[in-house]
Structure 1
């Protein structure tokens, strides 16, 4: 990996506190490495408790000014931020690919443009805090609703979409007038730090956006348990989310949790088979399957089952693995060797209980471009059939390029199976029948249900789950609501010293 992609930009340190980079003081460092070949991308210093405290203190100091700014002023700053991100789009895309292993065409066409669009959306949303109109519901008072910023937000973002998840945390929080301390995953902190620097360059005051680079067990827990943090937002696994909730509850903080997923992909017998096959391949392999909304369980009505499996297998075999910076590479490595081994473990155990590995199921040696893939965390797209509904690969989140396909007979069975996991983040239904589609969108328990597509997201619509996939929404006006608190203001309009209701205290005097 070309070290000049990152260069010396983080030599001042990997903590962004009060508008400037500074070194972490824990005495520990972490090597951010390329998952494509194991080469060093950046050695970062990790945060100590003192660094977390300093970041929270900076956010607390900045809160009165930023929350008191007019919506128009916050909107103007975010508009400038969107322009800066646009100017630096290529740089962001290259650094994102370097630290995460994402193919450059994914960061260039999806991650960075999506982040810029989110920024533009929240620039507008900052001026559109909604609430009930003022009115005299009691007849004696005027009632109105105020939406106010909460305070300092402590956010923890995952490694699978480092830039986008940083934006999803930062943008609604600051658009609503809060200040924030973000802890990105230590595996992939670089574009989060770049985003914070861009925010400063856009004129967002020092201390409004802070980033600490540290481990979850230390810096993360210090942040979410901090007495001066008023709200916690976390994206990651359901298991870690439970721990976040436990720590946050000690100080009764508001929590926003976007957790794991195991998205069903339900194909009815009247579906466009070609569309369903292509949709399943794209939706299961996006970001090398490291996506909590990725299609992981395909339920196919029996009449189409064999043809669907054959079609997906054929396309899986054609997917090109290779150098992430090659524009022709379709699939990059998993984020780390540890994650690759975790995915391989799921597949190997499935073999052990009799699964049919139709395609993939192994670590490849050479890429389409001659790249030596044994140096990285690569895994072939894997298609599995012949397992039961209660199998581990059906019920648990694999977070890799693995699709499991099961047949069903009746519509009732297909929808029942789709709901038969603890998760409920996303799903899709494939059919040409309007009534089938309406039934599926009504009965599938998920925060997002696509019809005849799977994966596209837009800034104007919310993202968030049901059940063990968490609660709260990212993106959209609904996300902005998450980062405000509602206050009822009730003002007497009678000017009477003695109110009629006083007789409940003063008797009949």
Structure 2
């Protein structure tokens, strides 16, 4: 049974690996010759110790510095350390009864030792057989505390290399003979048991190791209660802003009130995040795709375990209904599973070139540090769509959320770090235009993925060619359309039109605000649609309530923009059949939120502003058409090309029309359907590149071609 540890580890604490025989009660029995020999020196089963340099309650995320024979002095998370050096059945945790300053300084001293060699001799001198600086695990701890306190903290002892019968243990005779040394009997040295028994230490807890002592069982991730403070996330931790005190106020759409102040990351802090990503990238990229995939599957599992709390903060971030938010979060979990499964498939190809001696092969290599700038309508999902495929390919990521929805991307970053993705692989920087510019212009950012408006996308393309030419993926919205043919199932078409316009309060880039309906069915369609829209209007309100189906528009400015489109339609001669007004819920907490009733407009023409421009709100336009050619021409008459849809019982017609619609995605007898396995993106001003599916992996790797000739003699053409 795994023992849950509910304690905080702090800088300067010590972690001991303990191993006992499974059959004997004595602490002095271990399972290998080396361990038996080490036990004999210290007369106890404790044989390894690490110094805590980064604390917390989640044990797998605690950072330690220790000395390993194969790696020297390293800094690792506790779960990594358990896998690399934790040959024990459980861990014991000790706090040092010393000043906070000494504990902190000891942790800082440990960082200075990183990279030093491992000392395979116990004697007091911290050098290896070549005279180079080197440390055994307990030597490291003693030296770090000594440097911090300016004096000896832990006493030394005379080392014993003899059995209980007084005979030199054969293991040590051979051990030192191989090194050209005499057995250092009665030499002054150190041993983990000596540290453990120190009067300066007090035991504060223990934790059993699983899987034969190789890994830690991870504590369950829990979304923090306070998620609004220090919303920058760099090198594995929330950090305070360094933008000269500049910040912006985040106003919650649900309540219309300020929720928190969000720091603006300046160029210096963006550089800090990029440097953290660049430093962490090699470790993550060096893992096999299978190893990365295992971590990503853990991410998916952890998201599902926390779906309610993440969905709660998604609602508070952008105002959508809790019902939709749950779907978005679960869909995001599927995305991590999907790319976790694809991670091992990111490989190259082998190509024979004629003859037995010539061939070529390709390598699919990660790009390095990738930058992402997200949207506010699907904050958690947009971050996932960008980060998951990038990490599957071995990249590191710096992500800037929209200033209108800054919270849940930070939760995702914390969750990723909790699940074992190395600190620094994922970083979050908050800010507005200047922050995004600093990210796009940074020379160590090798790709940028952006979701947002066309003008911003154009500016990003320009910036990404300024200092170093880097590829971009752009998802820039649209002015999509839905065609309801005369042979359509009208009831299904009404449902499709609702899906095409009222999800997330109409704030969906693929939304088909232009609904072209054949004249022969336009009255039936309109009557049935109005019935459903009026039902929906009764379910506009507090998005945290399960019965709500339409929540709050993202902010007051955008609410006014949507109302402005409705007003322009009215002024240009269109008819407002229903809705398009501000709604004030009765509950005091949300009555100042930004709520609109679903709107239906008719009597438009193709020159009206509301027909030509993207509304990004809950506004549906019913537009009659005469024939198939008329519908296709008018649907394609836009500078955008993100999505389109059609309803028809005639699948031959559906197939042929789908081929003629200028859009990255076409929905047939459905709308706004989505699956992570299917590529998503647009044409024309809707952008380029694809998210989701195997296609996304192409945008996060570069292909290297390698030519090989194995012939004994290479013929010269000269």
| Inter-partner Cα distance in structure 1 for 2:339 and 2:297 | 9
Question: SS of the counterpart of 2:694?
Answer: helix
| Inter-partner Cα distance in structure 2 for 1:6 and 1:101 | 20
Q: For structure 2, which runs of at least 5 residues remain unmatched after alignment?
A: 1-222
Partner of 1:41: 259
Partner of 1:344: 563
| Inter-partner Cα distance in structure 1 for 2:410 and 2:428 | 6
| Inter-partner Cα distance in structure 1 for 2:354 and 2:422 | 40
Partner of 2:242: 25
| Inter-partner Cα distance in structure 1 for 2:356 and 2:582 | 72
Asked whether the 8 Å contact 1:364–1:373 carries over to 2, the reply is: no
Partner of 1:335: 554
Tell me the TM-score normalised to structure 2 length: 0.67
Question: SS of the counterpart of 1:424?
Answer: coil
| Inter-partner Cα distance in structure 2 for 1:63 and 1:212 | 17
Q: CA deviation at 1:419?
A: 0.8
Partner of 2:434: 218
Tell me the alpha carbon deviations over residues 430-489 of structure 1, each in whole angstroms, 9 at most, x when there is no partner: 000011101111101111111100011111111111111100111111011111111111
Partner of 1:235: 451
| Inter-partner Cα distance in structure 2 for 1:8 and 1:70 | 36
Tell me the TM-score normalised to structure 1 length: 0.94
Q: For structure 1, which runs of at least 5 residues remain unmatched after alignment?
A: none
Of the three residues 51, 54, 61, the one matched with 2:272 is 54
Asked whether the 8 Å contact 1:76–1:123 carries over to 2, the reply is: yes
Question: SS of the counterpart of 2:500?
Answer: helix
Structure 1 position 86 matched with structure 2 position 304: yes
| Inter-partner Cα distance in structure 2 for 1:159 and 1:6 | 21
| Inter-partner Cα distance in structure 2 for 1:139 and 1:354 | 76
| Inter-partner Cα distance in structure 2 for 1:90 and 1:158 | 21
Map 1:282-361 onto structure 2 (within 5 A): 282-319=499-536, 320-361=539-580
Q: CA deviation at 1:372?
A: 7.8
Partner of 2:94: none
Q: CA deviation at 1:415?
A: 1.0
Deviates more, 1:482-491 or 1:134-143: 134-143
More helix by share: 1
| Inter-partner Cα distance in structure 2 for 1:481 and 1:252 | 17
Asked whether the 8 Å contact 1:147–1:485 carries over to 2, the reply is: yes
| Inter-partner Cα distance in structure 2 for 1:240 and 1:301 | 37
| Inter-partner Cα distance in structure 2 for 1:460 and 1:143 | 30
Partner of 1:179: 396
Structure 1 position 449 matched with structure 2 position 666: yes
Question: SS of the counterpart of 2:529?
Answer: helix
Question: Structure 1 stretches (4+) deviating beyond 6 angstroms?
Answer: none
Partner of 1:275: 492
Partner of 2:51: none
Structure 1 position 421 matched with structure 2 position 638: yes
Structure ID, larger Rg: 2
Asked whether the 8 Å contact 1:148–1:487 carries over to 2, the reply is: yes
| Inter-partner Cα distance in structure 2 for 1:214 and 1:170 | 19
| Inter-partner Cα distance in structure 2 for 1:466 and 1:130 | 28
Asked whether the 8 Å contact 1:61–1:207 carries over to 2, the reply is: yes
Partner of 1:246: 462
RMSD, aligned α-carbons = 1.6
Partner of 2:85: none
Partner of 1:498: 715
| Inter-partner Cα distance in structure 1 for 2:347 and 2:500 | 34
Question: SS of the counterpart of 2:390?
Answer: helix
Of the three residues 84, 104, 121, the one matched with 2:322 is 104
Asked whether the 8 Å contact 1:6–1:42 carries over to 2, the reply is: no
Q: CA deviation at 1:339?
A: 0.6
Asked whether the 8 Å contact 1:366–1:372 carries over to 2, the reply is: no
Asked whether the 8 Å contact 2:516–2:622 carries over to 1, the reply is: yes
* Residues 252 and 364 of structure 1, relative CA distance in 2, 3 Å threshold: same
Asked whether the 8 Å contact 1:462–1:474 carries over to 2, the reply is: yes
Q: CA deviation at 1:365?
A: 3.0
Asked whether the 8 Å contact 1:157–1:183 carries over to 2, the reply is: yes
**Alignment: residue pair count:** 492
Partner of 2:158: none
Q: CA deviation at 1:493?
A: 2.7
Question: SS of the counterpart of 2:372?
Answer: strand
| Inter-partner Cα distance in structure 2 for 1:365 and 1:9 | 28
Asked whether the 8 Å contact 2:249–2:260 carries over to 1, the reply is: yes
Of the three residues 335, 354, 357, the one matched with 1:118 is 335
| Inter-partner Cα distance in structure 2 for 1:157 and 1:428 | 26
Q: CA deviation at 1:261?
A: 1.1
